[in-house]
């Protein structure tokens, strides 16, 4: 069955007239699944016009009613979870249970948005001056746009959509062109949940439509998640055009293993964090910093055994389920293999080479790869590889480990594994990173906290979901009011002008 992924505008699936399409493949076997349409700038602008119009009525809908749509949306997502996860696996490649995990993390943001009447309460002060009161209102910003990456085709859109809609905005999603099908399921479920037509729209496409959206005067806010160079460009262009922008970029997440750590626990944690979703996670651990040579030797030996035993293959239809699926595309697979070669050429020790893997299925697979003796000058250390390649860096002490992390250009996530409270406390305070784990390998904040990195992993002051998300999708207005005292006494004489 061949799919043709189109737009969803004003409550309907709408075909693009551009004639431009991109092919979609199943990464587990390389088979052609169908095509996605690449819309024209005019089609993107027609979605903006629809969203602008629909937003006015939606903004006037009481927050409690907007929350009820979110409650229904949550129930529908749960009902269709298996179907959605299957679609994610077919297009992205991650194993089915991991696709379900992604959906759960997105669903938690919907749950957060169900509390929107509380989140929009604002502030109130009595008697800011004599008989003068002040209160703030958090009003929607208008038409919001989300531009999302391939690696979480449901979770990342759900970082944005529920909060934006619950705040009273309309939303246009521009999904990744690599795995866009599930975006239309989101649109369908939102419609079934009772969201009025036009409040949520999907425009498929590439740079052409993104540029049109960034240039439209009717778009108020843009949330972007993707690679750092594009994030930086989107932030610059969107801000120059007067939009509110949050642009989350790439990562190189380090996990420090201290000599006193539970090594078996740390190794198990690293395995999931480095190789889950084939390393295609912005919070994947791609560098393990072992403190002391003894720690490094023990860690590498333990990792080697586990990496060699990784079950790699298709994410669907295999029992027991594989632990790691394919990469998103053939070009990406080739790029990851080139990175592995560059590590070898630049002098790192290749402990496990994933290039030679031969899974039962002819997809875009690279097996788990492990390097030792990696140093900060190497390309495999500096770049985000976005594949199942883990580098072990040897640090002489804790301070050097900390320095490695703080000197890196990215600042998304990090973790430390230790039994020592002093070290852990110092680490959480000194490390220049946005999301920090202590004996937790992937410290992705829950929906009621906010997600975002530091340094070149984010552009813009506000993170996604949690309180920052509500701030991002609302504009605060503060009212200061004095009311006339009115009539104090009844008068029984004939009124005359005084
Ligand atoms: P990408 O930057 O290639 O694409 C992201 C989005 O931008 C897609 O919708 C794409 O169509 C669009 N896009 C691509 N080129 C564009 C251009 N020139 N102009 C305008 N729009 C353009 O990213 P990707 O490969 O889909 O995703 C992987 C990247 O996303 C990794 O770097 C990963 O770290 C990052 N990521 C970051 C986070 C985070 O929270 N920081 C989360 C997930 C993914």
pLDDT digits (tens, 9 = 90+) for 165-207: 999 999 999 999 999 999 999 999 999 999 999 999 999 999 9
Q: pLDDT tens, position by position, for the chain (498 residues)?
A: 689 999 999 999 999 999 999 999 999 999 999 999 999 999 999 999 999 999 999 999 999 999 999 999 999 999 999 999 999 999 999 999 999 999 999 999 999 999 999 999 999 999 999 889 999 999 999 999 999 999 999 999 999 999 999 999 999 999 999 999 999 999 999 999 999 999 999 999 999 999 999 999 999 999 999 999 999 999 999 999 999 999 999 999 999 999 999 999 999 999 999 999 999 999 999 999 999 999 999 999 999 999 999 999 999 999 999 999 999 999 999 999 999 999 999 999 999 999 988 877 789 999 999 999 999 999 999 999 999 999 999 999 999 999 999 999 999 999 999 999 999 999 999 999 999 999 999 999 999 999 999 999 999 999 999 999 999 999 999 999 998 887 778 889 887 876
Dihedral pair phi/psi, residue 467, rounded to 5° = -60, -35
Quick one: which atom of ligand 1 is closest to the CA of 451? Answer: 40
CB atoms within 10 A of CB 153: 29
Place of tokens 């927050």: 63
439: left (phi > 0), else alpha (psi -120 to 50), else beta? Answer: left
Predicted confidence at residue 1, as pLDDT, reads: 66
Give 493 Cα–ligand 1 centroid separation in angstroms: 77
Q: Decide: 392 and 372 in contact? Cβ < 8 Å.
A: yes
Q: Decide: 441 and 487 in contact? Cβ < 8 Å.
A: no
Predicted confidence at residue 480, as pLDDT, reads: 95
Question: Using CA atoms, how far apart are residues 184 and 11, in angstroms rounded to an integer?
Answer: 11
Shortest-distance Cα residue to atom 34 of ligand 1: 250
Q: Is the CB of 457 under 6 A from ligand 1?
A: yes
Per-residue pLDDT of 425-457, as tens digits, reads: 999 999 999 999 999 999 999 999 999 999 999
Q: Decide: 302 and 263 in contact? Cβ < 8 Å.
A: yes
Question: Using CA atoms, how far apart are residues 256 and 415, in angstroms rounded to an integer?
Answer: 6
Quick one: which atom of ligand 1 is closest to the CA of 248? Answer: 41
H-type alpha helices, 252-369 = 263-275, 293-308, 330-345
For 16, 250, 395, 491, 495, the CA distances from 498, given in Å and listed in that order, are 71, 72, 86, 13, 9
Give the closest residue to 193 by CA, choosing from 315, 305, 27, 72: 72
DSSP result, 353-379: -GGG---SS-SS----EEEES--TTSH
Question: Using CA atoms, how far apart are residues 30 and 359, in angstroms rounded to an integer?
Answer: 13
Q: What are the catalytic residues?
A: 282
Distance of CA 489 to the CA centre of its chain: 62
Q: Is the CB of 248 under 6 A from ligand 1?
A: yes
Mutate-to-test residue for ligand 1 from 149, 280, 284, 386, highest number of ligand atoms within 8 A of CB: 149
Q: Which domains, ranges and CATH numbers included, belong to the chain?
A: 3-249+457-479 (3.40.605.10), 253-438 (3.40.309.10)
Q: Decide: 8 and 187 in contact? Cβ < 8 Å.
A: yes
Q: Is the CB of 250 under 6 A from ligand 1?
A: yes
Give the closest residue to 261 by CA, choosing from 401, 389, 382: 401
Place of tokens 């062109």: 177
Burial class of 211 by CB neighbour count within 10 A (0 to 12, 13 to 18, 19+): middle
Percent of the chain with pLDDT over 90: 94
Q: Decide: 78 and 107 in contact? Cβ < 8 Å.
A: yes
Question: Using CA atoms, how far apart are residues 307 and 51, in angstroms rounded to an integer?
Answer: 48
Question: Using CA atoms, how far apart are residues 120 and 139, in angstroms rounded to an integer?
Answer: 8
* Maximum alpha-carbon separation in the chain: 103
Question: Using CA atoms, how far apart are residues 288 and 244, in angstroms rounded to an integer?
Answer: 36
Q: Decide: 245 and 404 in contact? Cβ < 8 Å.
A: no
Predicted confidence at residue 137, as pLDDT, reads: 96
Q: Decide: 324 and 368 in contact? Cβ < 8 Å.
A: yes
Mutate-to-test residue for ligand 1 from 37, 214, 230, highest number of ligand atoms within 8 A of CB: 230
Mutate-to-test residue for ligand 1 from 174, 178, 226, highest number of ligand atoms within 8 A of CB: 226
Place of tokens 């883990």: 390
Give the closest residue to 294 by CA, choosing from 424, 381, 397, 375: 397
Q: What is the DSSP letter of 488?
A: -
Q: What is the DSSP letter of 41?
A: H
Dihedral pair phi/psi, residue 256, rounded to 5° = -90, 130
For 84, 87, 95, 125, 126, the CA distances from 182, given in Å and listed in that order, are 7, 7, 16, 45, 49
**Is the Cα dihedral 189, 194, 197, 199 positive or negative?**
negative
Question: Using CA atoms, how far apart are residues 358 and 423, in angstroms rounded to an integer?
Answer: 43
């Amino acid at each position: 069955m061949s799919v043709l992924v189109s737009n969803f505008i004003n409550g309907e699936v709408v075909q693009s007239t551009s004639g431009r399409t991109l092919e979609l493949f199943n990464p587990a076997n390389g088979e052609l699944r169908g095509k996605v349409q690449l819309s024209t700038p005019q089609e993107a602008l027609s979605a903006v016009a629809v969203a602008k119009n629909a937003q006015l009525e939606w903004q006037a809908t009481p927050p409690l009613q907007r929350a009820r749509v979110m409650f229904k949306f949550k129930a529908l997502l749960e009902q269709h979870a298996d179907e959605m996860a299957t679609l994610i696996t077919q297009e992205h490649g991650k194993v089915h249970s991991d696709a379900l995990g992604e959906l759960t993390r997105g669903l938690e943001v919907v749950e957060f948005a169900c509390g929107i009447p509380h989140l929009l309460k604002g502030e109130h002060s009595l008697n800011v001056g004599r008989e003068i009161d002040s209160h703030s209102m958090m009003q929607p910003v208008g038409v919001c746009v989300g531009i999302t990456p391939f690696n979480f085709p449901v979770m990342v859109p759900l970082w944005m959509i529920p909060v934006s809609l619950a705040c009273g905005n309309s939303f246009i999603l521009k999904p990744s062109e690599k795995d866009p099908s599930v975006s239309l399921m989101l649109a369908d479920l939102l419609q079934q949940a009772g969201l009025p037509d036009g409040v949520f729209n999907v425009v498929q496409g590439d740079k052409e439509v993104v540029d049109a959206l960034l240039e439209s005067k009717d778009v108020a806010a843009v949330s972007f998640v993707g690679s750092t160079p594009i994030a930086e460009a989107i932030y610059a262009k969107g801000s120059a055009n007067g939009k509110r922008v949050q642009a989350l970029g790439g990562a190189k997440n380090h996990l420090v293993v201290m000599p006193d750590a539970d090594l078996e626990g740390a190794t198990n944690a690293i395995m999931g964090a480095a190789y889950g979703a084939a390393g295609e996670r912005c919070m994947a651990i791609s560098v393990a910093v072992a403190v002391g040579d003894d720690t490094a030797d023990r860690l590498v030996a333990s990792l080697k055994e586990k990496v060699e035993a990784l079950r790699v293959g298709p994410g669907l239809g295999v029992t027991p389920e594989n632990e790691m699926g394919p990469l998103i595309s053939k070009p990406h697979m080739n790029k990851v293999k080139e990175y592995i070669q560059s590590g070898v050429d630049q002098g790192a020790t290749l402990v496990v080479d994933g290039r030679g893997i031969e899974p039962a299925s002819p997809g875009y697979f690279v097996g788990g790869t492990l390097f030792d003796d990696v140093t900060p000058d190497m390309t495999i250390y500096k770049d985000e590889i976005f594949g199942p390649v883990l580098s072990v860096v040897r640090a002489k002490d804790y301070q050097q480990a900390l320095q490695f992390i703080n000197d890196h250009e990215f600042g998304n996530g990090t973790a430390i594994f230790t039994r020592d409270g002093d070290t852990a406390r110092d680490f959480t305070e000194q490390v220049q990173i946005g999301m920090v784990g202590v004996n937790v390998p992937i410290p992705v904040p829950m929906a009621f906290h906010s997600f975002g990195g530091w340094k070149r992993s984010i552009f813009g002051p506000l993170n996604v979901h949690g309180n920052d998300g509500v701030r991002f999708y609302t504009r605060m207005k503060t009212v200061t009011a004095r009311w006339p005292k009115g009539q104090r006494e009844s008068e029984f004489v004939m009124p005359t002008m005084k």
